[in-house]
Amino acid sequence: MKFSEFCDSIENTEQEQQFLQYVKEEYRETKEAIEDENSAAAIKRIPFVGKMVFALAALADCESLAEFRESEYYPVLVDDWDASYDPDTGKFSLGASAKVKKQAAKIFFVVVGIIAVLLIFCKIRRRKKAV
């Protein structure tokens, strides 16, 4: 389920408060790490994950999902991540959306292609030197 659908389904219910309490407890350490300038700068440089960490810390600061929707971090979770929350067990999980998976696959194939071309090039150069 997309994060936006998830928010719509639990907004203004008892589950919303349970979810926000869970997020505050689970991401308290993340929020504290971001408050340190050095670690915040390092986290920002991590592709894909850096933005998500800041978005989760912002979610932990909010009192309601409506307040979080007004923040600049809401689009990060909406566009790039799928969410699920089980109120019975209290487990919240974020997974990469199809958009993020496609981007990661493209990057992977480009890197593998470059490595393959370099290996072929090196092999050809060795054969020429041997002759």
Residue closest to 30 by CA, chosen among 45, 46, 43, 47 = 43
Q: Which of 22, 27, 28 is nearest to 88 (CA)?
A: 22
pTM of the model: 0.63
- State the number of CA atoms in the 13 A half-sphere of 49 facing the CB: 7
> Which residue, among 30, 95, 91, has the nearest Cα to 58 in the 3D structure?
30
pLDDT digits over 51-93, tens only? 777 888 888 888 888 888 888 888 877 767 777 777 677 677 7
Mean pLDDT throughout 20-35?
Answer: 77
Q: What is the CA angle 84-86-92, rounded to 5?
A: 50
Q: What angle do CA 86, 46, 59 make, to 5 degrees?
A: 35
Statement: residue 126 has pLDDT above 80: yes
What's the confidence (pLDDT) of residue 131?
A: 66
